[in-house]
Amino acid sequence: MRPEQIRALAYLRRRGTEAPVEEVRARVAATYGAVEALIDAVPAAVAREHRPTSGWCIQEVADHLLESDRPALGQLARLLAGESVDAPIPASLQSARPHDRDWSELRAELRALHRELLALLERAHDGIPQSATGAVQMVVPCARADGSLEPVSWVERLDWKAFALVLHAHNRQHIDQIERILAAPSDGSGG
């Protein structure tokens, strides 16, 4: 494993597996609040603009978060019930036609899904065994010899607390992506 992968797994262990559920829940809730506030401030026309800092526009990022967090809800519920999950959620999951979604409806669906995930975590407690594991498609940027970054992907099995923390980390990565998109000059293309 590369150093970045080792650091990522140590973070998930320290801030997920070994942390009190209140801390995990607070991190996920804060990140969901941040991504919702960020995309709520973006007009539909801007959400569909492609900018040079990202392969995706903001609408595609929001669609990806909805499409990947949706199956995560079921997987987290299974882990909390003591059932292991063998199929990881694909790393670049999107709906078939992300630009066909109404921007307001997409944001509302994402908020509603986040409320469901947070309600599930609200019912979780530290007494729930962490023996069940879920397969997670991990993607971590790792340095090449020339200093540039490349995404490194692998499947890791995680307990329910680490799995929940991945939801936080995944949304946090996409908050950073949206902020980079918004900071870049518009090329005038609107999806």
Q: What percent of the chain has pLDDT over 90?
A: 91
21: alpha, beta or left, given left = phi > 0 and alpha = psi -120 to 50? alpha
189 domain-assigned: no
Query: Can you give the pLDDT at residue 92?
Result: 86
Dihedral sign computed on CA atoms, order 151, 31, 185, 97? positive
CB half-sphere exposure, 148, CA atoms < 13 A = 2
Decide if 181 contacts 58 (C-beta within 8 A): yes
**What distance in Å separates the CA atoms of residue 17 and residue 128, rounded to the nearest whole number?**
12
Is the pLDDT at 113 greater than 60, yes or no? yes
- pTM assigned to the model: 0.92
Is the pLDDT at 52 greater than 90, yes or no? no
Three-state secondary-structure class, residue 43: coil
Give me 87's structure tokens.
């199929």
Query: Can you give the pLDDT at residue 76?
Result: 98
**Domains identified in the chain, total number:** 1
Q: What is the CATH number of the domain that holds 153?
A: 1.20.120.450
The confidence band for 5, taking pLDDT boundaries of 50, 70 and 90, is very high
The range of the structural domain enclosing residue 147 comes to 3-183
